Structure 1
Amino acid sequence: MINTRLFKPALLSVAVSSAMFSGHSMAQDNAANNDDVEVISVQGIRGSLIRAQAVKMDSSSIVEAISAEDIGKLPDSSIAESLARLPGLAGERVGGRTSGISVRGFKEDFVGTSLNGRELIGIGDNRGVEYDLYPSEIMTGATIYKTTDASLLVQGIGGTVDLQTVRPLNAKETLTVNGVYEISGSDSDNPEFDNKGHRLSLSFVEKFADDTIGLAVAYATTESPNNQRKYGVWGYAQNDDGAFLPTGLDTQSISTLLERDTLSAVLQFRPTDDLDIVVDYLDIDYSDSGVLRGFIEPFASTNVTGTGVNATGTQINANPVLRTDPLQKDGDLKILGLNVEYHLNDDWKATLDVADSESTKRDLRGESYAGLARSGTLDTDQLGTRQFVMSQDGVFFTGSTGLDAFSDPNALQLTGPQVWGGGLANLADQFETDVLRPNGDPYTYLNAQDGFLNFADFKEELTTVRFEVEGLLEGDIFSKVTAGVNYSDRFKEKINKGFFATSNAYPQSTAIPSNYVYGLADLTWAGLGQVVAYDGFAPYNDGTYIQNDAGLLEPDRLGDTFEIEEEIVTVYAKVDFNTELNDMAVTGNIGVQYVQTDQQSNGYIGIVGSNFAVCDDNNDGQVDAACNVSLGTDYSHVLPSLNVSLEVADSKFVRFAANKTISRARIDQMKASSFVKFDQNIELITIPNTLAAVQQYGSPWSKSGGNPMLRPLEANNFDLAYEHYFEDEGYFAVSLFYKDLVNWTRESSGDSSIINFRNDETNNGADYFIAGFHDRVIDVAGNYGPADVFYDAGDLATPPDFGTFSFFEDGLEGSVNGLELTANVPFNMFADALDGFGVAASATFIDAELDNGSKIAGQSDEVYSLTAYYAMEGFEVRIAATDRSDFLTYERGGSNKISEATRSGVTLVDAQISYDFGDSDIEYLQGLRISLQGTNLTDEDEETIDSNGIVTTRRQFGPSYLLNFNYSFY
């Protein structure tokens, strides 16, 4: 039998990484416990590169890795920032913090994530994990599997990210305290927030009973501010003179505070060399809350000069809505696991792993409106004007008249200035009044919306049980066999809720109460001056707002409430081989997984009933039984895998991998729920009742829903890589990869998406038409609709029977071609005088195409990463830059639903300078490490640009600075 030969200069780092990452193979166990291995301590970034390189070199798969020399020693505030610098990976900011991670162009929803080998759940809308949820203080590292083998249970088409916490009996004893003072380079524009935060953590590893019991505990608490300036528009339209101008404005100053408490505890018991028991617990409790404050309003312009996007002019009839949106996001994640490993003899061992995870989250956003007066109260000559400049970067205001009330709490009215109450149509009787508007008509439900309370509750549970046997084989080629079975039971729930808010002063309006007011918020950066800052939750809490359940008024909320259940059984087997070919060592593995899935979704179809309420024909506040929907299916997959590593010369490897992988469909796309909506626009109601007319002009009817029958996304993957290791911390690698996407989810289109809303075949022939609600009596004779159909006064216009049904289905295909270039270069290989200097760089190029022309979420065509460092005798300087081109992503849209967005390319730069007093002559300083870190140093914005190249959304975050004190008592 041929033994795998490790890179001799890195024997220590292989042993260290084996201990740090607690691998399950017998080879790793033996390496970790080999007393003959020389121990050399290399710390800081150079030590991290050595350990990561050793993991990469010794793996049978194509992997990347990050590691710390000890618990609590990763340099970043969260594991997300560390992951974003790795080759083939790209970070995505959420609220100014790196949170999402794409692997080889696939967003985290299509990447498997595990914690110590177990599937990890998040607290988001879908399967993707929010990596910034995990503080670096509890992590010892991570391994990213770009190719897979049959024993890797958590997989994704993009790859697998395995996060690692410490195993106390494989780590050195330590007691470490970490403190961080954080300050944002951007002051808060909102008076009730500031720009300062902190992090504190305590971690220790102890061993007892002659090193048979180990305990590792890490506790971390965080308060991190985030201040951003958001510029946005509803969209752009071109006027008759060729100028592009906004159709509506959406500009705010946003301040939030992340508060996170994390507890990680690991208890390890190894009474004999044959038995190893590990119990681990993780509890993360977090809140990310604050306020969004600014203007939202339609935009009307006059006196415009210039053409294209370069124009100046005046906004007329300005009747802004000052939106104060209190934000409150609270969640928690708990994981409890047990791992028992027993060596049956010198060659065979068995492992049982059981884990239970649970997460909950409430994402709440209130809306409180203020303005000059209630909608319908003012004449046009009582409204304001603004002067503006329009360019490729959007619209900026240079002056205004008639809008002074927005800085005066005594003049500003707590009311809805715009006619946004259309959603209250079903409650029209509640808002009837004898009070007349200046035009002589009474106020109605259209004038009655003064705010909105919008929130979604999420809950997810995951139970996994895995049993595995592993044994050494005596043979000339095959060296080890691994086989096992894994059971996974997942439950996920989303409840979409909302409440329309109306002031108890309706139809009158009142000034903002003085006890609500914090002061003034700054919108001068957008040319919009100072505005009143008040507590947006106060009118909800003190009864000023009367609330009406939007779930009974808006069918899309009930149609976005659902449960998903999945039971998955995976049986797997893998054989490792180890031989020679023309004096070249050949290692690798071949294996297969058989995956059986049973999936089910429970939900609702949101329909407006004859009483104009949604699924509440009995007016009892309960969802009608007829609206309940339950659908499911079962299926199986066979997933083969092959990994081959050929050492063509000393420390030079050619690797090849071929495998089939799956990523399960997005949770929100698998829901059984759906909803039917109807647009009350007379121009749509009067479209002729023919299929051809609907195909040409559209329809007031629409239906949208998920599909519980969706199969997983599926790909055949091929990888070819060359890796040349020339130093402990130096290597060069080039990787080619190809992914044949044989199944991808697509949205319905064409004739298949047209249904009859008088006889819906997708819902047992349901007829959704309600006389008096969906038809319209014509008031004035004339031509109506895009087909110019003539109606006499008194005629009854009825809508066409047909409309669109948007749903998700299998069958889309595509391909992904990629090239990765990676180099870690220590400069001492060129000259001794350059010892301590080095760079780590990577470039990834991706060409991806789906057959319908759509993009893959998370895919940037180009991703670059460069880290330059100097590390010597405890002193360390690191400068890192990452760059990614434009990419498609998901974001929370209106009514708590997921929508797509295209982000512009972004280049992020961060830096760190630190000193470790480990070699100090002063004993009590020897455990101290001080560092100063800056992120987003070039003040990079996040932008979304439309098809005309004009900015539709811009978020400005500013840089952040962190001063860190890390002290290890031993």
Structure 2
Amino acid sequence: MNRISFKRHALASSIALVSALPAIAQENNPTQTMEPLEEVRVVGLAASQARNLDEKRMNVGVSDTITAEDIGKLPDTTIADTLQRIPGVQIRRSAGEGSTINVRGMPQVTALLNGEQFLSAGSITTVQPDFTDVPSPLISGITVHKSQTASLLAGGISGTLDLTTVRPLDLDQGWTFSGNAELAQGSESKGDDGRLSGFAGFNGEDFGVVLTATYDQKTLANYRNGTILNGMELIGEDIRDQRDFNNDGDNNDTFLGQRFYGVMDRETERDRYGLSASFQANLTDSLEFIGDVFYTDMEDADRKQGMMVDSTRGNNWAYSDNFQQRLDGPLGGSIYTINTGSLLVNRVSSYSESLTNDRQSTNANLELNYENGGPWKGSLRYLHGDAERGHTENVAHGYVTSGAQHGLMRNDGSGAEPVNPNGYGPDPIDVAFDRTGEYISLGFEEGFGSDINRYNLVSTYSENNFTEEATLDVLRLDGEYDFSGSHLRSVEFGVRSGQRDVTRDTYILVAPFTTGDYSADVMWKDSGASLGDTNGDGVNSVAGGDLTIGNLNYYADMPEGWVNEVSDFGPGSIDGTFYFVNPEVMDDNFAFQEALYPGNKALTMPSRSYTVDEQTYTAYLQVNLEGEIGGMTYNGNIGGRYIETELDILQNIIGSERPCSLCTAADKIGEEIISRSYDDFLPSVNFALDLTDDLILRAAYSKNMTSLDIDDLAGGLSVGRSRAGEVLGEQLGVSPDLMVAINGTQNGNPQLEPWRSDNYDLSLEWYFSNSGLLSVAGFYMDIESFIEQGEITMGLPDADGVVRRELPVTTNINGEGGSIKGVELAYQQAFDFLPGIWGGLGASLNFTYAPSDSSNVDVYGETLPIQDNSEKSGNAVLWYDDYGWQFRIAANYRSDRLDRLGMGMGEGVIPIWTDSTVYVDVSASYDINDYVSVYVQGSNVTDEFEDQYAQWDDYVITQNVFESRWAAGVRARF
């Protein structure tokens, strides 16, 4: 049964309640005069669905809203999981949890917190947060604005999210407390997880305070089968495999394959903290003060261990009778693929990896709101944000094979031998491979890998580590003048200044090595690698006597706890027992590397390090309209927002020489601060016409802009140089021995233009009952350009620092644009007209069809869609809410989507697609009394997983397998 509580308010928030109260009052006391209404706040699934419809109906623009069923009770595990229930919203998953979203096919989505910019630690360089950072109990509601207004902070191409928190004066008067305790477990992960959250709020009529705190710990199991690394290659006559696949007498056929196959056991551990506090006070009858703090802290470790097979240097790379002809090949024959057979592999590896993140963010808001009952309203707001993130990556690459199969040798001064002397060899290893079943599988001979003495840690390194810091400061002034006249209702206006500073330091760990007369700091600590010519014969050859740098680190000799014995790699993947360096030991990347190779230090990678200062100045004007046209009521707004953006980008200039042959960080030889600015005027129009009391027609147009990922703007410039020589030296007027610039590579392009688009919306909404909606919406987005790899020309300095020529530089560029057009259908209804217990049923259905076009084509010349956009998506939710019971089953569908552009072939590319998915979640709860309820919920209860295929849907190359998860808990509110 729904729980009801009261608070005083000028108007009731529920349209259904407003319309029903007069009749109720007249029925109870026909002679009674109506008094000012009290708002009735109904808690539960049905109430939340009704509030969502009310918010959508009252908004002039095109939008959808999800509100919490009660304090701290959004309906899904993460905010992104909740957002996927909205038409046109598609999510991406991290370890099975919803992490980031697309709106109508585009990830360029801005997220706001209580109407202003939100600085998230998981997305310091982007405008959309990583929603795994944000604990859902801190959020009371989410609105997705699909059409832009001038008064709404600009920043999203396809949509803007506004996350809202509880404000104290919205509570019942007096104290309100609530809490939640939950235990959870996955179908594959080990151990019990849990969550605790608590809420305390006080409404003293003229002042109030709220505090929300939450903590949860999760260990998420997810597996990867197939290509462990993403590389693909075409193997042809003059490369590796001289084969006549079609028996026509010519060895001119080619084979399309992946370099690495394997199975990977992945476990992601997350500890998530959140704190939200708000103070609200009516300082005078016309002046309100609000102060908010929103804090998040998440530590996670993504640990991987798996078997990899690699045969890049072998003949008869694959043998089978099941070669499938695909298309014409580059050598005159055909290109073939294989789905089942045997692989003769030269290397079998035991691979371990640990990726860690430590993220904290604080967003503080101070706000003064003025309203005295007259025509003027206004607000002054200051916001400050701080965020930081530390990220590490650590790899241990052990061998089970000896290394002799592909000629990888070591030499410590006593002669050349295989890098893993105890490993299997010297013959290639026969591995069964099959991608025709539900799961990709590998098969080794019985007992292979079960002897720990066969394993040696050949290579280890720590790269792509970084620390990021960002600050955000915003000062804004907003005003509104109410005309209260026919057609012209009010005018809104405002100015805003925003400053965002981002610093990133990317580094690797290097240790000192000496062989012969050579010394260097090395990242790739590899027992098969040499620093160079250490025997003085002028030839680099391990077999010829050159000394290698790495140690013999046999698994059997490692400290206790350093090695895992694993026999479970998830469903349908591999049989047997294998050994791995324990990824948990690798979480501390420095300590792990130091234990194996002392003397480690952090070496900055200037190509991936930068500082960016972004300053924005904004002014907007919006005219709000309402009135009647031909007896029909309308609401609308028309306005524009002007934005001036100034960027100061510190870009490192990188030399052509590297510190060592095994170290991937080049020398920094200088830096440059690049300053640029651009401005945008963004007009917008929104119009809503009540064709009848229940039928609303909406139309909208806006020009949108969103800032680029700072990673695309900033980064180092590497200059390639060579000796000038006599001819060029004479042309340039320099010595022939001067090293002059010949080309460049730039990780970030400071001259990139932001994302821009023109958006059009048209929708028809029929609110056929107090809890019923049937709607259809059409949309079109004309996107100006996409970011892609290309070439520009710019002045590059020669070795003496002088710029003498404009030369080609490979970098990101603004490529040709594209478009997304589509239609959204939605239906929602509570079946409260049914008799008895059936009156608690309700349903919500939506479907989105959104085809898109880009400038890329596949190997057949077919136009490819925009990346990560599913042409079709939909949701189906069946729910029940009555007699204290609440049930919900929700299914989310996405059709195939382009994951990434693979290797080039002919005039096109081999696209990598993610196959269609259906995720099913369920929940049930029972209200023991007015204060306490118990619940159980399950996510991904059908164990759905993601197949990725290359060009052809039967050519599955990767599988991401997620577990189902179940939770049980208790909630209390009083």
The TM tier, using the shorter chain, reads: 0.7 to 0.9
1:944 to 929, 937, 948: 948
Which residue, out of 579, 598, 601, partners 1:532?
579
State which of 352, 363, 368 in structure 2 corresponds to 1:340: 368
Q: Which amino acid aligns with 2:149?
A: D
Mapped pair 1:581 → 2:629: yes
Once the two structures are superposed, residues 675-704 of structure 1 have per-residue CA deviations (whole angstroms, 9 ceiling, x without a partner) of: 35899xxxxxxxxxxxxxxxxxxxx98734
Out of 514, 520, 524, the position equivalent to 2:565 is 520
- Provide TM-score, normalisation by structure 2: 0.78
Match of 2:816 in 1: 812
Please tell me whether the aligned partners of residues 113 and 164 of structure 2 are also in contact (alpha carbons under 8 angstroms). Answer: yes
Q: Decide which of 271, 275, 279 is 2:287's aligned counterpart.
A: 275
Matched residue type, 1:958: E
- Is contact 2:365-2:384 (8 Å) kept? yes
Q: How far 1:748 sits from its partner (Å)?
A: 4.8
Rounded to whole Å, the distance in 2 between the matches of 1:952 and 1:869 is: 38
In structure 1, distance between residues paired with 2:369 and 2:234? 65
Tell me, yes or no, if the aligned pair for 1:502 and 1:547 is still in contact at 8 Å.
no
Q: Residues 313 and 408 from structure 1, CA distance in 2 versus in 1: closer, same or farther, beyond 3 angstroms?
A: same
Q: What corresponds to 1:695 in structure 2? A: none
* Gap runs ≥5 in structure 1: 15-33, 188-193, 417-449, 680-699, 756-760, 769-800, 894-898, 919-925
Please state if 1:180 is matched with 2:182: yes
CA distance in 2, matches of 1:637, 1:382: 65
Question: Do 2:687 and 2:700's aligned partners in 1 also have CA atoms closer than 8 Å?
Answer: yes
- Asked whether 1:216 is paired with 2:214, we answer no
- Answer yes or no: is 1:11 the counterpart of 2:9: no
Q: Quick one: which of 825, 848, 860 aligns to 2:870?
A: 860
Post-superposition shift, 1:86? 0.9
1:822 is aligned to 2:874 = no
User: 1:144, 1:162 within 8 Å by CA — same for their partners in 2?
Assistant: yes
Alpha-carbon displacement from aligned partner over 1:384-432 (angstroms, at most 9, x marks no partner):
623313335685223327x74x44444422323xxxxxxxxxxxxxxxx
Q: Quick one: distance in 2 between partners of 1:666 and 1:478?
A: 40
Distance (whole Å) between structure 2 residues aligned to residue 831 and residue 723 of structure 1 = 27
Mapping for residues 241-260 of structure 1, pairs under 5 Å: 241=245, 245-260=257-272
Residue 930 (structure 1) shift: 1.1
In structure 1, the residue matched to 2:883 is 873
Change (3 A) 1:365 1:607: same
Does residue 931 of the first structure (1) align with residue 932 of the second (2)? Answer: no
**1:543 alignment counterpart:** 595
The C-alpha deviation readout for 1:191-224, integer Å capped at 9, x for no partner, is: xxx242100011111123xx22211111000101
- 1:763 matched to 2:804? The reply is no
Q: Look up the match of 1:903.
A: 914
Look up the SS of the partner of 1:133 in the other structure: coil
1:933-958 per-position Cα deviation (integer Å, ceiling 9, x unaligned): 11111111123211233222211112
Q: CA-to-partner distance for each residue in 1:447-475, whole Å, 9 max, x for gaps?
A: xxx33344122222211111011121143
From 911, 917, 920, give the equivalent of 2:928: 917
Task: Output aligned runs, 1:684-723, within 5 Å.
Answer: 703-723=745-765
The one of 649, 671, 678 aligned to 1:635: 678
Q: How many matched pairs?
A: 821
* Cα distance change on mapping 1:622 and 1:252 into 2, 3 Å: closer
- How do 1:127-206 residues align onto structure 2 when only pairs under 5 Å count? 127-172=127-172, 173-187=175-189, 194-206=190-202
CA distance in 1, matches of 2:208, 2:35: 19
Q: Which letter maps to 1:719?
A: D
Distance 2:757 2:280 in 1: 39
Paired residue secondary structure (1:333): strand
In structure 1, what is the equivalent of residue 726 of structure 2? none
> 1:114 — aligned with what?
112
2:51 corresponds to which residue?
51
Change (3 A) 1:303 1:726: closer
Superposition TM-score, scaled by structure 1 size: 0.79
Query: How many Å apart are 1:175 and its aligned residue?
Result: 0.7
Report matched runs for 1:202-601 at 5 Å.
202-208=198-204, 211-233=205-227, 234-235=231-232, 237=234, 240=243, 241=245, 245-299=257-311, 300=314, 301=317, 303-308=319-324, 312-343=340-371, 346-372=374-400, 373=402, 375-376=408-409, 377-378=417-418, 381-382=425-426, 385-392=429-436, 396-400=441-445, 404=448, 406-416=449-459, 450-499=460-509, 500-502=523-525, 506-512=549-555, 513-523=558-568, 525-527=572-574, 529-536=576-583, 537=585, 540=592, 543-546=595-598, 557-601=605-649
CA displacement at 1:641 relative to structure 2 = 1.1
**Alpha-carbon displacement from aligned partner over 1:792-837 (angstroms, at most 9, x marks no partner):** xxxxxxxxx9997432233633322121111102223466763111
Preserved contact between residue 13 and residue 51 of structure 1 (Cα < 8 Å): no
In terms of mean alpha carbon deviation, does 168-177 or 860-869 score higher? 168-177
Question: SS of 1:590's equivalent?
Answer: strand
Q: Deviations over 1:486-506 (max 9, x none)?
A: 111112222222232537995
CA-to-aligned-CA distance 1:285-316 (integer Å, 9 cap, x gap)? 11111421112342353553322255654433
Aligned equivalents of 1:127, 1:490: Cα separation in 2: 11
Q: Distance in 1 between matches of 2:361 and 2:452?
A: 41
Aligned pair in 2 of structure 1 residues 10, 674: CA closer, same or farther (>3 Å)? farther
Q: Distance in 1 between matches of 2:952 and 2:83?
A: 34
Indicate if the aligned counterparts of 2:307 and 2:350 stay in contact, CA closer than 8 A. yes
Aligned residues with identical type, % of pairs: 22
Distance 2:658 2:432 in 1: 48
From the superposition, tell whether residues 101 and 37 of structure 1 become closer, same or farther in structure 2 (CA, over 3 Å).
Answer: farther
Task: Provide Cα deviations, 1:224-274, integer angstroms capped at 9, x if missing partner.
Answer: 111111113233656632675543224311112110111111111113331
In the alignment, the residues of structure 2 paired with residue 951 and residue 508 of structure 1 have an alpha-carbon distance, to the nearest angstrom, of 38
Q: Deviations over 1:600-646 (max 9, x none)?
A: 21122333228768999xxxx9954x431322311211111111111
Indicate how the Cα distance of structure 1 residues 859 and 132 shifts in structure 2: closer, same or farther if over 3 A, else same.
Answer: same
Amino acid aligned to 2:303: V
Q: How far apart, CA to CA, are the structure 1 residues paired with 2:916 and 2:154?
A: 30
Which residue of the partner structure matches residue 4 of structure 2? none
Shift of the 613–368 alpha-carbon distance from structure 1 to 2, 3 Å rule, reads closer
Q: 1:546 to 1:526 in 2, by over 3 A?
A: farther
Gaps of 5+ in 2: 1-10, 22-33, 236-240, 247-254, 325-336, 410-416, 510-522, 528-547, 723-741, 857-862, 904-909
Q: Is the 8 A contact 2:285 2:372 kept in 1?
A: no
Residues 510, 671 of structure 1: alpha-carbon distance in 2 compared, 3 angstrom cutoff = closer
Using the alignment, how far apart are the partners of 2:721 and 2:305 within structure 1?
A: 31
State the match for 1:744 in structure 2.
Answer: 785
Matched to 1:818, the amino acid is: G
Secondary structure of 1:483's partner? strand
Letter in 1 for 2:216: T
Task: Tell me what 1:24 maps to.
Answer: none
Moved more, 287-296 or 850-859: 850-859
Q: Does residue 1:966 correspond to 2:971, yes or no?
A: yes
Q: In structure 2, the residue corresponding to 1:461 is in which secondary structure?
A: strand
- Give the SS at the match of 2:492: strand
CA gap of 1:236–1:945, structure 2 versus 1, over 3 A, is: farther
Check whether the contact 2:848–2:874 (CA below 8 A) recurs between aligned residues.
yes
**Are the structure 2 counterparts of residues 51 and 678 from structure 1 closer, same or farther at C-alpha, using a change threshold of 3 Å?**
farther
1:327/1:612 CA distance change after superposition, 3 Å = closer
- CA gap of 1:532–1:59, structure 2 versus 1, over 3 A, is same
SS at 2:60's partner residue?
coil
